[in-house]
């Protein structure tokens, strides 16, 4: 009888307590695997094509990566701008355990109330006090580990919010008191600001994952102190586009300097960009970070799949 995979849903405390028995009956590999904490992070989901790709790809990706927790950036989920109750529900239904956002979080009016009442939705923590919602949360991974997620917004070439470094420290202190592993979504434009934040918290969090540019960078690494880092995770949305938006509109905007409404196609071949971080809950750092890029042809959508 095969027992491979039988322990992956058990709490680590249980696995540690019965480690000798698990090693004997299930094998050392299974014991080691059951102690891993794999966090899957999906880059900004853009519009309906992004939501469709997520719905089709996330369940198998979670299986393939043996993910214990899935975090999805949903700041562009509603037609490219912000997030609504319906689009958040789609992301959660697809398998997201926590949805982070960024500078577009307030683009849809209903996000104000949604951020207040839905604990699985985060907005950047460094919005000045009084902003709706929360910038950090704690979520239970499949293996029972409590994972803190912190969402921050950079300030270079972006709106001047509170300092993400200092505000982040306040949130980290609270998170570290209640959980062993913290993942940060640092939503920012400038590569230098993202890397600087990664170095600033190196060794204090398991991962700093950059978002916002919608272009996946090839610099994933574990920093000297043990924090996994990538400048930008990328996006989940139309591939034949300019960062998810209709390319003709954007080119025209650059040619004329005139404002134009950004359009996201309702149906398009899409990419899903992600990273998976292998976390060490004993140290609160990371062992490894792996970049993922998948495609989802729009032709694969079933006829009843036109939400």
Active site residues: 104
Distance from the Cα of residue 223 to its chain's centroid: 19
Nearer to Fe ion, 135 or 284 (CB): 135
Asked if 186 and 254 count as a contact pair (C-beta separation under 8 A), the reply is: no
Closest CA to 274 of 82, 83, 50: 50
* 97-105, 115-123, 148-156, 191-199 -> range binding Fe ion (CB under 5 A): 97-105
Site for Fe ion in 25-44 (CB under 5 A): 44
Q: Which of 12, 52, 103, 227 is close enough to bind Fe ion by CB under 5 A?
A: 103
**Measured from the CB of residue 43, what is the shortest distance to Fe ion in angstroms?**
8
Site for Fe ion in 143-172 (CB under 5 A): none
Distance separating alpha carbons of residues 250 and 281, to the nearest angstrom:
44
**Measured from the CB of residue 161, what is the shortest distance to Fe ion in angstroms?**
13
Site membership for Fe ion, residue 212 (CB under 5 A): yes
Q: Please list the residues that pair with 150 across neighbouring strands.
A: 136, 184
**Measured from the CB of residue 39, what is the shortest distance to Fe ion in angstroms?**
20
Question: How far are the Cα atoms of 5, 18, 69, 268, 281 from residue 21, in angstroms, in the given order?
Answer: 15, 5, 26, 50, 21
Interface with Fe ion (CB under 5 A), residue total 6
Site for Fe ion in 168-207 (CB under 5 A): none
**Measured from the CB of residue 103, what is the shortest distance to Fe ion in angstroms?**
4
Site membership for Fe ion, residue 87 (CB under 5 A): no
Calculate ∠ Cα 236-238-241, nearest 5°.
Answer: 125
Nearer to Fe ion, 126 or 285 (CB): 126
Taking residue 44's Cβ as centre, other Cβ atoms within 10 Å add up to: 31
Distance separating alpha carbons of residues 286 and 129, to the nearest angstrom:
31
**Measured from the CB of residue 50, what is the shortest distance to Fe ion in angstroms?**
10
Q: Which of 34, 65, 76, 216 is close enough to bind Fe ion by CB under 5 A?
A: 76
Q: Which of 49, 74, 82, 102 is close enough to bind Fe ion by CB under 5 A?
A: 102
Calculate ∠ Cα 120-159-138, nearest 5°.
Answer: 20
The residue ranges that bind Fe ion (CB under 5 A) are 44, 75-76, 102-103, 212
């Amino acid at each position: 009888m095969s027992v491979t995979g039988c322990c992956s849903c058990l709490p680590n405390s249980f696995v540690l307590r019965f480690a000798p028995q698990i090693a004997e009956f299930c094998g050392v590999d299974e014991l080691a695997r059951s102690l891993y904490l794999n966090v899957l992070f999906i880059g900004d989901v853009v519009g309906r094509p992004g939501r469709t790709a997520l719905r089709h790809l996330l369940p198998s990706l979670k299986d393939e990566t043996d993910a214990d927790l899935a975090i999805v950036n949903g700041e562009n989920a509603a037609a490219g701008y912000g997030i609504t109750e319906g689009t958040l529900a789609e992301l959660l239904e697809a398998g997201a355990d926590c949805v982070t956002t960024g500078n577009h979080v307030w683009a849809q009016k209903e996000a104000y109330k949604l951020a207040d009442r839905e604990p699985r939705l985060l907005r950047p923590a460094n919005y000045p006090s009084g902003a709706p919602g929360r910038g950090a949360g704690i979520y239970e991974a499949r293996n029972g580990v409590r994972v803190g997620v912190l969402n921050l917004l950079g300030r270079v070439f972006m709106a001047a919010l509170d300092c993400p470094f200092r505000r982040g420290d306040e949130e980290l202190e609270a998170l570290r008191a209640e959980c062993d592993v913290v993942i940060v979504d640092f939503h920012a434009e400038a590569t230098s600001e993202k890397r600087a934040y990664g170095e600033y918290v190196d060794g204090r969090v398991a991962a700093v994952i950059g978002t916002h540019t919608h272009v996946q960078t090839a610099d994933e690494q574990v920093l000297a102190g043990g924090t996994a880092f990538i400048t930008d995770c990328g996006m989940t949305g139309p591939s034949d586009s300019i960062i998810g938006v209709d390319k003709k509109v954007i080119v025209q905007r650059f040619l004329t300097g005139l404002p134009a409404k950004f359009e996201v196609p309702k149906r398009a071949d899409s990419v899903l960009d992600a990273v998976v971080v292998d976390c060490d809950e004993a140290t609160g750092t990371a062992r490894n970070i792996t970049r993922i890029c998948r495609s989802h042809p729009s032709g694969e959508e079933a006829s009843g799949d036109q939400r």
